[in-house]
Chains A and B, each alone.
Chain A
Amino acid sequence: MIDAAINRRQFLRLTGTAAIACAGAGWLSQLARPAPAAPRSGPGWREAEYYYKLDGGRIQCTLCPCSYPRGQLDDGQTCVCHVRTNVAGKLYVTNYGRASSLHLDPIEKNPSYHFLPGAQALAVSAPGCTLGCKCCQNWQMSQARTDDIRTIDAPPQELVRRALAERRRAITYTYTDAAAFFEYARDTAKLARSRGLANTMVTGGYINSEPLKELCRYMDAFSISVKGFTEDYYRDYCRGQLSTVLEAMKTVRAQGRWLEVVVLVIPTLSDDMGKIKWFAAWVRDNLGLDTPVHFSRFWPAYLLRNLPQTPISALEQARAIARAEGLRFVYIGNLPGHEAANTYCPRCKKALLRRVGFRVIENNLIGGSCRFCGAGIPGRWA
C-alpha cells in the first residue's frame, strides 16, 4: 500500500531518472566488456580470392561491384553478401563446402530449356548472395550468414562423388547466387568437369568480369536473372546495378557459354511493357536472336509480400512483345502447364519440346534439329 500518492510531475521525474540510470549502466557495462573476438576459422572458412589489401588492415573485395562502402571492409567486418569477412587484413569466405541445400533436380528448374533437356542435375547452394533482392524466393538462405542457418558439410569432392553415384549428368549451382560462393562453385565445377559432368549456374549476374570469366572456364551454361530494367530499380529493390548484370550477360556470351535470360515480371515494378520492349531489343542486339528469354511469374515473397502475383495476361503480353522484337525462343515460367513453356520450331512452328512443370513430356528434336522440318535449334542437346 502506498502511503502518499505522487503527482504526475514527480512520477515523470522518477521514471526519467530511472531510465537515464539504466541507460548509463548499460553503456558502462559495454565499456567494461572486452570486444568480442571475430571468429577466425570454422567449418567453411577459407581465404577468399579476388581482393587486395588497403592501409590500416582494410581490404578491397573485387568479386562484385559491392554497394558496401565501395567494397572496402574494416577488420572484423562482413560484407553485405553475408559470407565474406575481413579478419586481420585477410578476406575469408565462410561458406566454402557448406551447402545450404542439396537436391536432385531436373535441369528445367534453372530454367535451362536449351541445355540437356530432361537431364537430372545435382543442385547445390550455399548461404549468401551478392544481391539483396526484396523479391527473393530463397531469402532464408541468400540473406543469411553461414552460421545462422543449417548447412551441410559437402566439399567439392563429395558433391562430385554424389552426382556420379546418383547418375546425374550435371551439377547446378542455384537457389542462392553462385557468385556468392564463387570459390566453392569454381572448385566443384573444375572437379566435375574433369569427371565428365556438365556445370550450370543460376545467377543474378552481379559479379565483376574477371571472376565471371574464370567461372566461364568451367561452367557450361548460365541462367542469368534480370530483376528490372532501370538502375533506380536495381538500387532500390536489389542493392545492385543493372549495368553490371547486362555486362555479365555480354561476358558470358563472349566467352562462348550457353546463356538463357530470366526476367522476373513484378506487378507495378518491372511490368512496364515499354521497358520490356527495350530489354528485348537489347537482348536481340547484344546477345542474339537465339538467346532464350524466360518471363517468369512473380509470387509474393520476402519483402514484397504486399504485391500480387503477376497476371498471366502481363506475362503473355511481355512474351508477345519480345517475339515481335525478333527473339525466337521466348518462354513463360512459373506457370506449370502453360503452352509458352514449350519450345516451338521457329520455322514450322510445331512443338518440339513439350513441358509440364519441369518435365519434358514430348521431345521432337533429333540431333538438335526439328524432326518435322529439319531446322537446326540452337542449344546443347546431348
Chain B
Amino acid sequence: MKSKVVVLVLLPCAVVAALTAAHAATLEPQMRTLKSLTAEIGTWNLVDDLNLSPAQMQALLPAAREVRSEHEAIEAEQTRAVAEFDRAIRVLRQELLANSGVSDEAKAGVARAEAGWKELEKKSEERAPEWRRVVQQTLTPEQLQILADYRPGAALGRARRARVGAPGVLARAERLLVRARQATPEQLEQAPQRLRQMLPPGRPRIPAARFRELAGQMLDIVMEARAMSDADFEARKPELAQRLVDLLPQKGAPGARRGRQSTGVDLEKKIGHMLLTPALATVLEAKLAIAQPGAFKPPICYPEDLASLVADVRLLNLVNSLYLSPDQMKALSGIISRAEADRQAARPQTEAVLEDLIALATQVRDELAAGGVSAQTLERVRTEGARGVQEKRAHETRMAQYVAAAKGVLNENQICLVSEFIPCLIPIKNLTNPERIGQAQNTEGAERMLARARAAPEDRVAAMMPGAQARLEALLRHKRLPAAEIEARLAELPRVVADARAMSDAEFELKKTELVKRVAPPEPAPVQGAALDHRIAEYLLSANLLPIFEQRIGAQGVASR
C-alpha cells in the first residue's frame, strides 16, 4: 500500500511540476507521452486498489475491450472532425489577428466544428451507461465504495491526515510567523491566502464568511508577532504558532462545513473517467496473463497542434480586449523576447527532466504490469519527483521578474481586465453590455428560454421541463460543478420557471438575469495574486505574441505616416 501511495502521489506531482515548467518551453510531444503514461499508471493503481478477483476481471474484460475498440473507431472519425475544427479555428484566428471583429461566417464555422466535435464526444458516451452497468453489477459494494472514495489526491490526504496538529503543522506556522515579521505591508495583504494554504488537507472545509473571521483573528496574531522584539518573539514563537493552529476548526466543530460526499453521480463519473479508460483492457489482459495484450491509446483530446491553435485564439481574444498602445506592445515585446530567451536556455534542462520522467514512468508502468514496483524504482520516483518540483520552482522564479515587468507595462484597468478574463473561442459582442466583450459567458439564451416558458401554457411547461433540465445538467457538468451543486441547481430550475411565470412583464424584464443566475453556473471569480501572475505568464509572456505585436506596431506606423 505504501508503495502505491508514493507512486500515486509523487509521480503525478512530478509530472504536473514538470508540465507546468515545460508548458512555455513547448515540449508537447514529451508532455503528451508523459500524460498518457500517467493515465495508464492511474488505471493500474486503481485496479490494484480494487483487488479484483480473476472472475471479476473476466467479467469486466469484454466491456473493457469494447471501450478500447470503440475508442479506436472514434479516433478514426476524430481525424475528420479535427480537420474541420482546424479549418474553422484558422479562419477565426485570421480574423482575430486582423482585430476587426469576428464575421458571422467564422462564428458559424466554429459553431459547426464544435457541434461535430461534441457529436463525437456524445458518440463516445453512447454505450457508456451499458458499460457502467456491467461495472456496477460486477464489483462488490465494498469495491464500489473504494471507487466512490477514490480520488487521485486521496492518498496524499490519507498520508497527511495523521499529521494534523502534529509538529509539522506547528513548524509551518512558526515559519509563517517568521516570514510575516519580515514581510512588507503589501505582502501582508496576501496573508489570508497564505493562511488558507496552511490549512492541512485533513481539516474540514471552512465557509467563506467563517474564513474571513478566522483570517482576521490570525492576522491579529501576526500583528502581535510583528510588534514583538526579536528576543520576545523567539521565546513566544511556539505559543503563537500553537494559537494559530488552534484557530483551525476541528472536525465536526460548529460552523465547519463537511467535505463533499460521494454521490451516485460522482460514482458514475468515476467509473467512466477512472476505471473504464481505454487502458483498462490492457491492464486486465496483462493481469489475466492473456497473450499479446492490446496497445494502450490515450483518451480523446484535442491534438496538440489544434490545442495550440485554440490557445492562440484565446490569447488573441485577451490581447484584442486590452487595447494595447504601440508603446505598450513595444515594451511587452522586449520583455517577451527576454523571457523567451530565458526559456530557451532552460529548455535542455526541462527536456532532460521530462525525458527522465518518461523513462521512469515507463519503468513504473512495466513494473506494475509485472506485479509490483521495486524499492529502487520507488526511491527514483521520490528523487525525480523532487527534481520536477525543483525545476518548476526554478522556472517560476525565472518568470517572476518578467511577470512583474509585464505588470508594470499594463495600466490598472488592463490588469483588471486580465484578472477577469474568461477564456473563450468566440468573444460575445454585446453592446448593451460591453463589459462582456471578449468574455465566454452570457445569460441571453437562458433569458430567452425563460421568456418562452412564461408564454407557454402550464402543461407545455411541464412537458418542456425534463428537456430543459437535461440541457442544464449537461451545461453544469461541462462546467465541472460538484455533483451536489448540480443537483441543487437542477432542483431550483422548476422554482425559477414558476417564479418567472408569476412575475409581471416589467418585473420579469428587470429580474430575468437574476433568475437565470440562480441556476446558471457561477461566473469564475477574478484571479488575484499568484493566479494572476500565472495568467500573465501564460498569456502575456507567450512567444506567440511577438509576431502579432510586430505586425500591429508596423501597421500602426504605416497608418500614422
Verify that A and B bind, or say they do not.
yes
* Contacting pair B100 A308 (CB below 8 A): yes
Chain A residues with CB below 8 A from B412, complex form: 354, 361-362
Q: When each residue 93-104 of chain B gets 1 if its CB lies under 8 Å from chain A and 0 otherwise, what string results? A: 000000011000
A322-342 near B? 1/0 per residue, CB < 8 Å:
000000000000111111011
Residues 298-336 of B, flagged 1 when their CB comes within 8 A of A and 0 if not, give: 000000000000000000000001110000000000000
B217 at the interface (CB under 8 A from A): no
Q: Pick from B268-276, B389-397, B503-511 the stretch touching chain A.
A: B503-511
B435, A336: Cβ atoms closer than 8 Å: yes
Question: Interface residue tally of chain B, by bracket?
Answer: 20 to 34
Partner of B100, one of A309, A355, A361: A309
- A320 contacts the other chain (CB 8 A): no
Q: How far is the CA of A137 from the CA of B434 in the complex (A)?
A: 13
Is B413 a contact of A358 with CB atoms below 8 Å?
no
- Asked whether B137 is an interface residue with its Cβ less than 8 Å from the other chain, the reply is no
Question: Which residues of the other chain, B, contact A300 by a CB distance below 8 angstroms?
Answer: 101
Q: Which residues of the other chain, A, contact B429 by a CB distance below 8 angstroms?
A: 299
Interface positions of A from 328 to 382, Cβ below 8 Å from B:
334-339, 341-342, 354-359, 361-362
- Select which of A159, A339, A358 is within 8 A of B434 by beta carbon: A358
Q: Is the CB of A102 within 8 A of B559?
A: no
Indicate if the CB atoms of A334 and B510 lie closer than 8 Å: no
Residue with the highest number of chain B CB atoms closer than 10 Å, among A103, A336, A342, A358: A336
In the bound assembly, the distance between CA atoms of A142 and B323 in angstroms comes to: 31
Asked if A152 meets B506 with Cβ closer than 8 Å, knowing A309-B100, A313-B556, A337-B322, the reply is yes
A337 near B506: Cβ-Cβ < 8 Å: no
Let me know if A312 is at the binding interface, CB within 8 A. yes
In the complex, the answer to whether B560 meets A354 with C-beta atoms within 8 Å is: no
User: When the two chains form their complex, are residues A102 and B510 in contact, meaning their CB atoms are under 8 A apart?
Assistant: yes
Chain B proximity of A336: nearest CB distance (Å): 5
Asked whether A356 lies within 8 Å of B413 as measured between CB atoms, the reply is: yes
Whether, in the assembled complex, B437 has its beta carbon less than 8 Å from a beta carbon of chain A, the answer is yes
A341-B413 contact in complex given A357-B434, A358-B435, C-beta closer than 8 Å: yes
A359 touching B435, Cβ below 8 Å: yes
For A316, give the chain B residue with the smallest CB separation: B325
B528 contact set on A, CB distance < 8 A: none
For A99, what are the chain B residues with a Cβ–Cβ distance below 8 Å? 506, 509
Chain A: which residue is nearest B417 at the CB level? Answer: A337
- Contact between A337 and B100, CB atoms less than 8 A apart: no
Instruction: State whether the Cβ of B286 lies closer than 8 Å to any Cβ in chain A.
Output: no
A308 to B98 CA separation, bound complex (whole angstroms): 11
B443 interface hit (Cβ, 8 Å): no
- Docked complex Cα distance between A355 and B413 (Å): 7
Residues of A near B437 (CB, < 8 A) are 336
B508-557 at interface with A (beta carbon < 8 Å): 509-510, 556
Cβ contact within 8 Å between B431 and A137: yes
Say yes or no: A337 contacts B416, CB within 8 Å. yes
Does B411 belong to the interface (CB within 8 Å)? yes
Question: Is A166's CB within 8 Å of the partner chain B?
Answer: yes
Chain B residues within an 8 Å CB radius of A152:
505-506, 509
Taken together as a complex, chains A and B put the C-alpha atoms of A158 and B507 apart, in Å, by 10
Judge whether A101 is part of the interface by a CB distance below 8 angstroms.
yes
A269 within 8 A of B: no
A154: B residues at CB distance < 8 A: 505-506
Task: Check A356–B505 contact: CB distance below 8 A.
Answer: no
State the CA gap A104–B505 with chains docked (Å).
Answer: 15
Residues of A contacting B432 in the complex (Cβ-Cβ under 8 angstroms): 103
On whether the beta carbons of A337 and B414 are closer than 8 Å, the reply is: yes
B100: nearest chain-A partner, CB-CB: A308
User: Is A16 at the interface (CB under 8 A from chain B)?
Assistant: no
Residues on B with beta carbons closer than 8 Å to the beta carbon of A24: none
A337 touches B510 (CB 8 A): no
CA distance A159 to B506 in the complex (A): 8
**Cα separation A361 to B432 with both chains bound (whole Å):** 20
Minimal beta-carbon separation of B97 from chain A (angstroms): 15
Instruction: Write the chain B residue with the least CB distance to A351.
Output: B412
A247: interface (CB < 8 Å): no
Could you say which residues of chain B place their CB within 8 Å of the CB of A312?
323
Is the beta-carbon distance between A356 and B416 smaller than 8 angstroms?
yes
B505 and A153 contacting across the interface, CB-CB below 8 Å? yes
A-contact 0/1 string along B142-182, CB 8 Å cutoff: 00000000000000000000000000000000000000000
Which residues of B lie under 8 Å from residue A104 when comparing CB positions?
510
Expressed in whole angstroms, the minimum distance between the Cβ of A162 and any Cβ of chain B is 6
A311 at the interface (CB under 8 A from B): yes
| Given A152-B509, A153-B505, residue A336 in contact with residue B431 (CB < 8 A) | no
- Closest partner residue, chain A, to B506 (CB atom): A154
Check B101 against A354 for contact (C-beta < 8 Å): no
User: A223-255: which have CB < 8 Å to B?
Assistant: none
Is there an interface contact between B100 and A336, defined as CB atoms closer than 8 Å?
A: no
Cβ-closest chain A residue relative to B411: A339
Residues of B near A212 (CB, < 8 A) are: none
Complex-state Cα separation, A152 to B451, whole angstroms:
12
Distance A85 CA – B416 CA, assembled complex (angstroms): 50
A122 part of interface (Cβ distance < 8 Å): yes
C-alpha gap A334/B431 in the complex (Å) = 8
Q: Which residues of A sit under 8 angstroms from B510, Cβ to Cβ?
A: 102-104, 122, 162, 166
- Nearest residue, chain A, Cβ from B508: A152
Bound: A122/B559 CA distance, A: 42
8 closest A-B pairs by CB:
A357-B435, A102-B509, A152-B505, A337-B417, A154-B506, A337-B413, A356-B416, A336-B434
Starting from the known contacts A299-B431, A335-B323, A357-B434, 12 additional A-B residue pairs (CB-CB under 8 Å) come to A103-B509, A153-B506, A154-B506, A159-B506, A299-B429, A311-B559, A312-B323, A337-B414, A337-B416, A339-B413, A355-B413, A359-B435
Using a CB–CB distance below 8 Å, which chain B residues touch chain A? Answer: 100-101, 321-323, 411-414, 416-417, 429, 431-435, 437, 504-507, 509-510, 556, 559-560
Q: Contact residues of A with B, CB < 8 Å?
A: 99, 101-104, 122, 137, 152-154, 158-159, 162, 166, 299-301, 308-309, 311-313, 334-339, 341-342, 354-359, 361-362
Pairs across A and B, CB under 8 Å, 26 listed: A99-B509, A103-B432, A104-B510, A137-B431, A153-B505, A153-B506, A162-B510, A166-B510, A300-B101, A309-B100, A311-B559, A312-B323, A313-B559, A313-B560, A337-B414, A337-B416, A338-B323, A338-B413, A341-B413, A354-B413, A356-B416, A356-B417, A357-B435, A358-B435, A359-B435, A361-B413
